[in-house]
Structure 1
Amino acid sequence: MAAHAVNNIPSKGQRKWRGMMLVPWVIPPALSTLGWWWLFEPTYSSFNWILEGLGLSAIPWLSDTFWARFSIILVNVWVGAPFFLIMYLASLKSIPEDLYEAASIDGANAWQKLIHVTIPMMRNIISITILFSIIVTFANFDIVRVLTQGGPRNSTHLFASYSFRVGIESGDIPLGAAVSLFMFPLLAVLAFIILRNVRQRTVNI
């Protein structure tokens, strides 16, 4: 939806927005996550300062299981979303205008064009970005390490961070290697399913 909104901005404005969208992605993940840690940090949390200023209770962003997971997801989206938005924007620009003109002639409104023209034409790129997002998330280390170090109670570990925890910090290198290698069959099966569906849709087109 964000890419669709940017695509409807005039060309001059699009350049500025595309540049702004890429900023979170080009900043090193560890550095941007450190900035988020300062916002979540329990003693001097800027978010909690705002909440308390509004008369609300402070939130244990990094010490509660639910909020720690929420914080990890939020930062992960912040880091990765700009790259996917640019990919979606490029895909939107490749959709022939004739399809939208034909839909307008048939009486379709903006919502119907989005559902019946835009999304079907973008299904392949959406599938690829979902696959890429899952692969990057499985192997994510910086965000978990900087924000929570896997806590509280090992509730926010991903494969990469848990492999480091048991293999390096706990000294069980064989187990750490096994955890990291366990990602491969899972991702291989997922990649096979998604890429096969993409290939079938391409042939049908």
Structure 2
Amino acid sequence: MADGSTIPMQRAAAGGGSLKRFARQRSTVAFLMTLPLIAIIGGLVVWPAGYAIYLSTLNRRMTEFIGLTNFDILLESETFRMVIFQSMFFAVTAVILKALIGFWLAHMLHHLPTKGQRKWRGMLLVPWVIPPALSTLGWWWMFEPSYSSINYVLAIFAVPAVPWLGEPWWARISVIIVNVWYGAPFFMIMYLAALKSVPEQLYEAAMIDGATSWQRLRYITLPMMRNIISITVLFSLIVTFANYDIVRVLTNGGPRDLTHVFASYAFQVGVLSGNIPRGAAVSLFMFPILAVIAFFVLRGVTRRNQQEA
């Protein structure tokens, strides 16, 4: 006859075994339910990326394996080196401006009454809702030298006309302006959501201690928002690096190929010039840059989460 003390232990062991079986069963069911999503990601992301790597190692006729020759040719090209500079300048400048403007707009909206905040939030989101190709076409009309509305307004104040799309640096600034106009509302709505999650008690305690507005921003708002700021900047940086619509519609890479970014130059080399392998090599230059940036940003977010836990 079993000892009375062993019966609870046997029941606990049986219960533990059933829990383990249930956990395994649930993980199996969850894996099976995610298989369609995994298949979609594999078909739309992993396979094209692997095929692009394969294409970049072929010659122009795609009949011979040439290794890294396409990358060597690109790095020796002055035009491609300018594309690297332009892509970095465009992405970094645009993301910084979008982050600053988005934070300022979110901070302003956060202090508005709920009714007025809803109205302004809807209006400020309009640039982000409009398809970028369509909104860029409107900006092209405003920049175009023959009937530029911006230059018309400048002429009223006796300011000389600006060659928005005809001079390299002005063309670069024009592309950045359109990208900031389109992307700042995304930063605004993300930062506004983060501001809503900051406890008001922290601000009240800081005000009682005599903290100024700048001190509350520096020691409460920014530390509480740093994870969402990091993720938003990373996401925007990836999207901005791969930006195609704005450059294609606004400048088409001109003047003299000085406003191309990786995506638009890859299209020109791969599709318009008929050199698919070299175009694939151009597009792959974004991957190591973004991978390094993503690694450091996500590592910082993970470390902060561990410290808070």
TM-score by length of 1: 0.98
Percent of aligned pairs with the same amino acid: 68
Query: Which of 1 and 2 has higher RCO (CA within 8 Å, sep 6+)?
Result: 2
Task: Look up the match of 2:209.
Answer: 106
What stretches of structure 1 of length at least 5 have no aligned partner? Answer: none
Give distance in 2, aligned partners of 1:96 and 1:121: 10
How many Å apart are 1:63 and its aligned residue?
0.8
Letter of the structure 1 residue corresponding to residue 259 of structure 2: T
Task: Look up the match of 1:29.
Answer: 132
Task: Look up the match of 1:159.
Answer: 262
Match of 1:91 among 175, 194, 210: 194
Task: Look up the match of 1:177.
Answer: 280
Give distance in 2, aligned partners of 1:131 and 1:107: 35
Root mean square deviation of aligned Cα? 0.9
How many Å apart are 1:186 and its aligned residue?
1.4
How many Å apart are 1:51 and its aligned residue?
0.9
Following TM superposition, the consecutive aligned residue runs of length 4 or more in structure 1 with deviations greater than 4 angstroms are: none
Letter of the structure 2 residue corresponding to residue 45 of structure 1: S
Deviations 1:161-193 (A, max 9, x none): 010011111111111011112211211111111
Report the secondary structure of 1:122's partner residue: helix
Match of 1:63 among 166, 191, 194: 166
Task: Look up the match of 2:10.
Answer: none
Within a 5 Å distance, the mapping from 1:188-203 to structure 2 comes to 188-203=291-306
- Are 2:212 and 1:124 aligned? no
TM-score by length of 2: 0.65
- Are 2:46 and 1:46 aligned? no
Give distance in 1, aligned partners of 2:151 and 2:273: 34
What stretches of structure 2 of length at least 5 have no aligned partner? Answer: 1-103
Larger Cα-atom Rg: 2
Letter of the structure 1 residue corresponding to residue 164 of structure 2: W
Give distance in 2, aligned partners of 1:2 and 1:112: 19
Letter of the structure 1 residue corresponding to residue 240 of structure 2: T
